[in-house]
């Protein structure tokens, strides 16, 4: 796969969204610079998916703007947008009655003219994307028969096959065992892609992300490097869990030990 261009810059400004009277996301601004892996953290229901859905152009913001390379995504066609950003969403239809290779081939659609047939180049990119997520052996299987983690990896392959410079990931490690979690995060890092990922696992975010935004009740309550955001005080305040945080002597990154018998 000729690697995707890395020159994506995401800028979201003052995004808000509400349902009935409830404010779900309130005045959130964030940015991701080229090559950065930025984590979006927050407890269940804090607004991560809603925020990402506004960014990947599924949910129209009540106010605010989203720009990729200074182009407003809401003023860009869906097809053009799909060339700019690839999405691994939470609500992916898991019931595709398709073979795995055809699910991944869907990632090529934004690059094809409307009536074009899939070409050799598309098949090569699909095979390489499947190999990158350790799923080449699943290529001929029906997607609906895969395990949760296998589906997640195949959907990641589809996002890679899209060869967009920006990746938006909503809980990409959902369903993945510990090794596949590391493989996926290593893959994102090794590709040097610009990525914004909603994550639940604080240790993974601490190890892999360049910067973090932490949401609580739809607003950003902390942002910065993992060491700045993942302090015992902030974890206690936002998640209601006591934790010890020290610096890894090996990586220099925060190591988090939760104290689950002593919840706040
Ligand atoms: N269409 C809607 N109507 C009413 N409430 C909604 C709607 N969409 C989302 N919400 C509510 O908004 C809040 C934020 O939801 P969201 O899915 O963005 O949170 P999240 O941080 O991604 O959560 P999780 O970690 O559980 O996936 C939740 O309380 C959810 O119930």
Secondary structure (DSSP) of 119-176: -HHHHHHHHHHHHHTT-GGGTTSBGGGS-HHHHHHHHHHHHHHTT-SEEEEESTTTT-
Cα(76) to centroid(ligand 1), Å: 26
Q: What is the pLDDT of residue 91?
A: 63
Query: Does the pLDDT of residue 154 top 80, yes or no?
Result: yes
Q: Which residues contact 19 (CB under 8 A, 6 or more apart)?
A: none
Cα(60) to centroid(ligand 1), Å: 15
Cα(49) to centroid(ligand 1), Å: 7
Average pLDDT rounded to a whole number, residues 128-143: 95
* Index of the ligand 1 atom closest to the CA of residue 42: 21
**Ligand 1 atom 27 nearest Cα:** 44
Q: Please state, for a pLDDT cut of 90, what percent of the chain lies above it.
A: 75
Cα(132) to centroid(ligand 1), Å: 32
CA dihedral 197, 202, 208, 213 (to 10 degrees): 50
Catalogue all structural domains in the chain, each as residue range(s) with its CATH number.
10-262 (3.40.50.300)
Cα(129) to centroid(ligand 1), Å: 31
* Index of the ligand 1 atom closest to the CA of residue 90: 27
Q: What is the pLDDT of residue 104?
A: 94
Query: Does the pLDDT of residue 4 top 60, yes or no?
Result: no
Q: What is the pLDDT of residue 1?
A: 41
Q: What is the pTM of this model?
A: 0.93
Q: Is residue 42 in contact with ligand 1, taking CB distance under 6 Å?
A: yes
Q: What is the pLDDT of residue 95?
A: 63
**5-39 burial code (b ≥16 CB/10 A, e <16):** eeebbbbbeebbbeeeeebbbbebebebebbbbbb
ipTM computed for the complex: 0.97
Q: What is the pLDDT of residue 114?
A: 67
Q: Is residue 254 in contact with ligand 1, taking CB distance under 6 Å?
A: no
Cα(45) to centroid(ligand 1), Å: 5
**Ligand 1 atom 25 nearest Cα:** 44
Query: Does the pLDDT of residue 2 top 80, yes or no?
Result: no
Q: Which of 36-50, 79-93, 130-144, 232-246 has the lowest mean pLDDT?
A: 79-93
Read off the pLDDT of residues 48-58 as tens digits, 9 standing for 90 and up.
999 999 999 99
Q: Is residue 46 in contact with ligand 1, taking CB distance under 6 Å?
A: yes
Read off the pLDDT of residues 220-264 as tens digits, 9 standing for 90 and up.
999 999 999 999 999 999 999 999 999 999 999 999 999 988 788
**Ligand 1 atom 18 nearest Cα:** 47
Q: Is residue 78 in contact with ligand 1, taking CB distance under 6 Å?
A: no
């Amino acid at each position: 796969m000729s690697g995707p261009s890395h020159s994506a810059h995401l800028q979201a400004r003052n995004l808000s969204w509400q349902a009935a009277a409830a404010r779900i996301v309130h005045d959130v601004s964030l940015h991701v610079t080229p090559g950065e892996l930025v984590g979006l953290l927050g407890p269940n229901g804090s607004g991560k998916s809603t925020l990402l859905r506004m960014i990947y152009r599924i949910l129209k913001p009540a106010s605010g703007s989203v720009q990729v390379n200074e182009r407003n995504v809401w003023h860009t066609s869906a097809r053009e947008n799909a060339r700019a950003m690839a999405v691994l969403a939470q609500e992916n239809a898991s019931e595709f009655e398709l073979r795995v290779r055809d699910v991944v081939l869907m990632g090529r659609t934004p690059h094809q003219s409307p009536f074009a047939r899939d070409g050799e180049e598309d098949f090569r990119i699909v095979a390489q994307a499947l190999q990158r997520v350790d799923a080449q052996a699943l290529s001929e299987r029906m997607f609906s028969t895969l395990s949760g983690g296998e589906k997640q990896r195949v959907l990641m392959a589809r996002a890679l096959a899209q060869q967009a410079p920006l990746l938006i990931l909503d809980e990409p490690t959902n369903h993945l065992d510990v090794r596949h979690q590391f493989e996926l995060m290593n893959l994102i890092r090794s590709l040097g892609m610009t990525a914004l990922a909603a994550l639940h696992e604080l240790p993974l975010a601490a190890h892999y992300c360049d910067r973090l935004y932490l949401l609580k009740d739809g607003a950003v309550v902390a942002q910065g490097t993992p060491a700045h955001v993942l302090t015992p005080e902030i974890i206690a305040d936002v998640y209601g869990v006591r934790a010890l945080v020290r610096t890894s002597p090996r990586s220099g990154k925060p190591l988090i030990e939760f104290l689950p018998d002593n919840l706040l």
